[in-house]
Amino acid sequence: MAYSEFLADRVRYRLKGKGAIIEKKMMGGLIFMVNDKMCIGIDIDKKTTNDRLMVRVGKLPYEELLKEKGSRVMDFTGSVMRGFLFIDPEGFDTEDDLDFWVSKALEFNQLLTKSS
């Protein structure tokens, strides 16, 4: 699989106790499902060979979150997937930065869980 176990462990630590967590290997990386909903993922960007996060944030805060350090549109399939962001390493290298992105993914996940 094309992802960093170190980054996976950092994300796992932050998701502990946040709901029912299932890890799925998909799209060449690792996706963390929280309460049966896709929440956050990791892989390696084939163009840059850098680790990256995939964060599901929903459409409402999307434009604002695009302005955050390391954030960019998710265009995994060649077209932009609104509500999902790729985060490059400069956006999650520090513990505080990774905490920020995991919290944003969990905030949206909570909205999905409540509406289910």
Predicted TM-score (pTM) of the model is 0.92
Specify the residue for token string 């400069």: 90
Please, what are the averages of pLDDT over each run of 10 residues along the chain (116 residues)? Answer: 91 97 92 96 94 95 95 87 95 98 96 68
Structure confidence at residue 112 (pLDDT): 87
Mark residue 95 as left, alpha or beta (left: phi above 0; alpha: psi -120 to 50; beta: remaining).
alpha
The distance in angstroms from the start CA to the end CA of the chain is: 31
CATH T-level topology, domain 5-109: Aspartate Aminotransferase, domain 1 (3.90.1150)
Structure confidence at residue 36 (pLDDT): 95
Structure confidence at residue 26 (pLDDT): 87
Long-range contacts of 87-91 (CB under 8 A, 24+ apart): 87/52, 87/53, 87/54, 87/55, 88/45, 88/48, 88/50, 88/52, 89/50, 89/51, 89/52, 91/53
Question: Please, what is the average pLDDT of the chain?
Answer: 93
Structure confidence at residue 83 (pLDDT): 94
* Helix, strand, coil percentages, rounded to 5, for the chain: 35, 30, 40
Measured between alpha carbons, how far is 110 from 107 in angstroms, rounded to an integer? 5
